[in-house]
Structure 1
């Protein structure tokens, strides 16, 4: 796993590889089919980003964020942090464009903003 983590940053992306199609119950979003492939999840932590990332790495935990439901079904391949100025929503859009990705699940990780999603499907 590649980790490029700067504790002074507040934004992060977690790259997750899912080996097989899997149906996951994701909180209030309901039952969702995730196709096998590469995903990028974009998040933020106003303080202690390292603790947030370490929590996201764990497979077994109390489920609080949408990513918590998906995490047990994939392998993290890369984690990158980013400085704050771009903002979480713009970072998600930037990474989607750079990866030629798509939004696989509406409002995944973005229920508190107007973004389509903070989860990007990159490829199978």
Structure 2
């Protein structure tokens, strides 16, 4: 399985309050979000399959901040954008809009958050962030 950086494009179909591990109770408004992570371990981008399993309820074990949001019944995984062979996780996250929760998914770096709140054209916004990160970094 290839390794690389990925962004999950999520839709929250209703406002939600979610307990997010050590971050505690977090409020999310209905709308589109993007979570950016990296997968350079042995399983590579198969990590995305694990995320899909969480959304569908086929898996329940939570390890990362995003897992808590993925397990919420109002969360839908709309698309996954990947950049294979490049560790551009932070570069992509910096190119996306600010998110609703500081420190979300970014406890191991200096980024404010790896969860972005997306407005119009959420998938195109994420694709552009990946293209620019790959080109510029």
**Interval containing the TM-score (normalised by the shorter chain):** 0.7 to 0.9
Aligned length: 113
Q: Does 1:55 align with 2:50?
A: yes
More strand by share: 1
- 1:60-94 Cα distance to aligned partner (Å, 9 max, x none): 32110001100022000000111344621111112
Q: Does 1:87 align with 2:88?
A: yes
TM-score (norm 2): 0.76
Q: Does 1:70 align with 2:69?
A: yes
TM-score (norm 1): 0.83
Runs of 4+ with deviation above 3 angstroms: 83-86
Unaligned runs of 5+ in 2: 121-137
Kindly indicate whether the alpha-carbon contact (under 8 Å) linking 1:27 and 1:66 is maintained by their aligned counterparts in 2. yes
State the shift of 1:10 in Å.
Answer: 1.1
Partner of 2:112: 116
More helix by share: 2
Q: Does 1:13 align with 2:7?
A: yes
RMSD of equivalent CA atoms: 1.6
State the shift of 1:9 in Å.
Answer: 3.8
